[in-house]
Structure 1
Amino acid sequence: MKFVTAIALFCASVSLASAQSPITYTDAAGGEVILPLGDLSFADAVVARTIGSGRIAASAETPDVTLGAPDYSGDVDDGSFLSLGCDGSVDLLFADNALIDVPGPDLYVFEVGPRVEGMFLAISEDGQEWTEVGAITGGRAEVDIAGRSTPGASYRYVRLTDDGEGCGTNFAGADVDAVAAIGTALRFTLDAAVLFDVDSSALRPEALAEINAVASQIAAANVASINVIGHTDSTGSDAYNMTLSLQRATSVRAQLLQTTALANLSIATTGRGELEPIASNETDAGRQANRRVEIIAVPN
């Protein structure tokens, strides 16, 4: 059984005051983890859920409780966590940030409940092609994606799957309170309809204000590098879309470099064409969402 929520196209505005303030969080076992981007580090949306077998108490059936910062009170009936069920899974989306590989642990899973169960982790850039990272075991669920991740990649999705063992409680399967990226970058998403005319990579006059606003936020952050990534819908040929997406990313990069504070930063460009949709290309609204430029800003 699948549980799917609609994914909105997140706008460019991010509160960098909170984003740039590291916060220490405590897990259910009393351990601590420091997240460099504070509350922005946590998953933002549930994409899908496969309900596993076994008994799941009503208080632990809601997938959306896995979003945001951990809030488990110690009472197993407090409704703060999702029980996956035996062999169940949940797919989560990072919208205003991106999971990246950094030295040391990259992801932290706040697993709670009456006992600790194992899980398997997979990550994805587009929600279609998944990379299996491996098992998450023990009470301190921090994961290093090095060796599994593609160098320079930024991941939008994570999938947690219960390992199918120890499912004989009233909260079958692993119990997930929150999921956070330790290795994380800021993600800004700009609507291509605001930036460009149809089939054009020349910035519209009104695009300058949008890009300059993002540039100001990046300049206020302690950022080491930037990657500007162009995306299209599936209209047109693969080759045409790849070229157009790269040209649009290049135009946005040129405007970012007009900001004095960003002039000396490393700003790369990537064209992804139609390869990474965030919505269905079968509808006008979905195609509009897929036509976008993303700016991934990696903190120092």
Structure 2
Amino acid sequence: MSETLYTPLPDRAVIRVSGPDRISFLQGLVSNDIEKITADHSGYGALLTPQGKFLFDFFIYQQDQDSLLIDCERGEDGARAAEFYKKLRMYKLRAKVELTDVTESYDVITVFGDGALTALNLPDTAGATAPLADGIKAVDPRLSLIGARVLLPKNELAQMAAIGATESDAATYHQRRVTLGLPNGSEEMEIDRAILLENGFEELGGVDFKKGCYMGQELTARTKYRGLVRKRLLPITIIGPAPETGTAIMNGDKEAGIIRSIHGNGGLALIRLERIGNDAELTAGDAKITVHVPDWVNLPEPAA
């Protein structure tokens, strides 16, 4: 794809976290190192249950010297964002932090295509960040191949035309996203069950193993250091009638995975790694399934 495309993402919400304790407050809650978020670098992370299971994923940007912006999943009628906001307030306690839902003040935009980073004058470095008019532009902190994310104040979408980008639709973006193997919150990660390392968070820069304690850290660290990753969220191609999301992928009479999302003739599936060898013939319903391993994915070495 040679041109630069952009797509507003109305399924995203924006929460501002301000106040002198904003960094220490988030540092004890989320999987990534909040101290690394600067005007030049944005990040990706997650909030987990105390048992280390997925609740929310999000992008974090520095708005100014006193505030951070969190770009998170909005959910139907804003339900997911409201739940996330409520969870943050629950943990706020006496921290000198102010939480504000500023969703109505911002457009969250994805800019993608081969020329996206050049058009935005951004380097090919995940998380690299700079101002754009009165907003923020950042190379996607997960993977630069997907392009960039932009937060603009409402009614400033003309900035996209100014960089030479053409409006696309969300379907095109999500097809690109699943081809690259990038999760999209609860669409593909099961709430209160998914484990970060099964969903690529280590390779995608969404977890920091040196930052110290945060909620759910113990399971995440144990999963890494004991080599307990046996499943991975991976891209699939579907040949034949598309099955429903949640359909089991079979290798003969053995379950090899579960389809988490479908976009076009592809999608993402949580795959049991021991059941996708070179001779695997995978099916889901009446469709043939092919599993792909993106270059950025580091799979464990097969057992001898």
Is TM-score (shorter-chain normalized) higher than 0.5?
Answer: no
Q: Given the two structures, how large is their TM-score scaled by the length of structure 1?
A: 0.29
Q: Given the two structures, how large is their TM-score scaled by the length of structure 2?
A: 0.29
